[in-house]
């Protein structure tokens, strides 16, 4: 493991002690890199060191970082401005342990003027020797990551749900791989869509029902109304339909077909067939890739014009540009995605993405 250290003048002495302490662990494969400062006598500005260290941890040049200033406060505030850096200012061994177990903090901030040497070293040890607990903490930390990686407005964050389940992430990793065959790709898209059903149906309303078990009568729950519609956007959205129907087999299926006008580049409807009572249904519009958001926004518009009210957009991979577009046109629509990627390239493909989902589903390339 590679650990990067940094301090200002006020944290210099403690940083040096930590360096010595960690130096004793070099046989265990611990490598220590010191970004300075190199004296307690010359005053320096903590943000300069904090940001350099935080960037080197966020971009994974180093595995973890330790920052020391007078109180640890300035270092932690500055480091936490760097996306991907999660700095925890701790003042006890328990906090040092919990900031790993619950918060997955990759940077430890300490106060050189406020912490006794022996306590500080014990905090460093606790922090280094504790792993992230994952589970429910992954979901919470994931929300912080989503916030920082989504270059969209605050209201949008509340309507953007990124599925953090390990199985979903694992399968998304496989469909990204260009070596994955058409058959595997098709199966995995169905599986991911199926797994996402648990999240996208989380807010369905339940009603109490009386049930007689072999032992006694009891109150159980049933989904109220049970009126759902899934609406794939042709053609790639079709790849998600069966996975969802396996879990909600009574859902009605509508279809929306859009093509891009080569001159205006605007999406144009060529097919739309929706369940007759669409206005009463919870509607899940399906499209594996939310890239520019043009088709998704147009499909939502189309469904709304036919009376659709409660609309959720379900995709596998989204780009921030697409999320922005959908939410600027339809702020009421909740988006669920299995991954939020970095950006669109000049050809409108999501980066890193997985290429063209339609071609990969149907083997048309
Ligand atoms: C430097 O005097 C001091 O302000 C700095 O080390 C740090 O404590 C800031 O948060």
91-117 pLDDT, tens digit per residue, is 999 999 999 999 999 999 999 999 999
DSSP letters of 119-157? HHHHHHHHHHT-----THHHHHHHHHHHHHH--S-HHHH
User: Chain-centre distance of CA 206, in angstroms?
Assistant: 28
The more confident residue out of 144 and 51 is 51
The more confident residue out of 26 and 129 is 129
Residue of minimum CA distance from atom 9 in ligand 1: 74
pLDDT of residue 152: 47
pLDDT of residue 284: 96
Q: Over the stretch 186-198, which tens digit does the pLDDT of each residue have? A: 999 999 999 999 9
pLDDT of residue 150: 60
Is the CB of 46 inside a 6 Å radius of any atom of ligand 1? yes
Catalytic residue among 213, 264, 346, 365: 264
> Can 177 be counted among the known catalytic residues?
no
d(CA 96, CA 119): 11
- The string over 203-238, giving b where at least 16 C-beta atoms fall within 10 Å of a residue's C-beta and e elsewhere, is eeeeeeeeeeeeeeeeeeeeeeeebbbbbbbbebbb
Longest dimension (CA), the chain: 80
**348 CA from centroid of ligand 1 (Å):** 46
> Can 125 be counted among the known catalytic residues?
no
Q: Over the stretch 266-311, which tens digit does the pLDDT of each residue have? A: 789 999 999 999 999 999 999 999 998 999 999 999 999 999 999 9
Burial class (CB in 10 A: 0-12, 13-18, 19+), 265: exposed
pLDDT tier, 164 (very low <50, low <70, confident <90, very high otherwise): confident
pTM above 0.75, yes or no: no
């Amino acid at each position: 493991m590679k650990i990067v250290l940094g301090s200002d003048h006020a944290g210099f002495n403690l940083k040096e002690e930590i360096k010595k302490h960690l130096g004793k662990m070099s046989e265990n494969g611990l490598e220590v890199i010191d970004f300075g400062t190199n004296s307690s006598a010359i005053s320096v500005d903590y943000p300069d060191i904090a940001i350099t260290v935080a960037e080197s941890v966020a971009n994974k040049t180093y595995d973890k970082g330790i920052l020391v200033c007078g109180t640890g406060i300035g270092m932690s505030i500055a480091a936490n401005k760097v996306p991907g850096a999660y700095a925890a200012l701790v003042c006890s061994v328990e906090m040092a342990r919990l900031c790993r177990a619950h918060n997955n903090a990759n940077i430890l901030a300490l106060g050189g003027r406020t912490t006794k040497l022996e306590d500080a070293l014990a905090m460093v040890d606790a922090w280094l020797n504790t792993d992230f607990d994952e589970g429910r903490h992954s979901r919470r930390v994931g929300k912080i990551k989503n916030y920082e990686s989504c270059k969209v407005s605050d209201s949008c964050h509340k309507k953007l749900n990124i599925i953090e389940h390990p199985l979903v992430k694992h399968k998304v990793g496989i469909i990204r791989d260009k070596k994955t065959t058409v058959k595997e790709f098709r199966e995995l898209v169905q599986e991911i869509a199926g797994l996402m059903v648990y999240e996208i149906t989380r807010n369905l309303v339940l009603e109490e029902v009386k049930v007689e078990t072999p032992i006694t009568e009891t109150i159980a729950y049933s989904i109220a109304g049970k009126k759902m519609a899934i609406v794939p956007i042709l053609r790639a959205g079709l790849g998600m339909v069966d996975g969802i129907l396996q879990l909600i087999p009574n859902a009605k299926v509508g279809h929306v077909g859009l093509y891009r006008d080569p001159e205006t580049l605007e999406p144009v409807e060529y097919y739309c067939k929706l369940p007759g009572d669409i206005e009463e249904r919870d509607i899940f519009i399906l499209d594996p890739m939310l890239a520019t958001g043009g088709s998704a926004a147009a499909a939502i518009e189309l469904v709304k014009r036919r009376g659709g009210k409660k609309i959720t957009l379900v995709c596998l991979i989204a780009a921030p540009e697409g999320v922005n577009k959908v939410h600027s046109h339809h702020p009421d629509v909740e988006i669920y995605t299995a991954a939020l990627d970095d950006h669109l390239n000049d050809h409108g493909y999501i980066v890193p993405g997985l290429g063209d989902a339609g071609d990969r589903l149907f083997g048309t390339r």
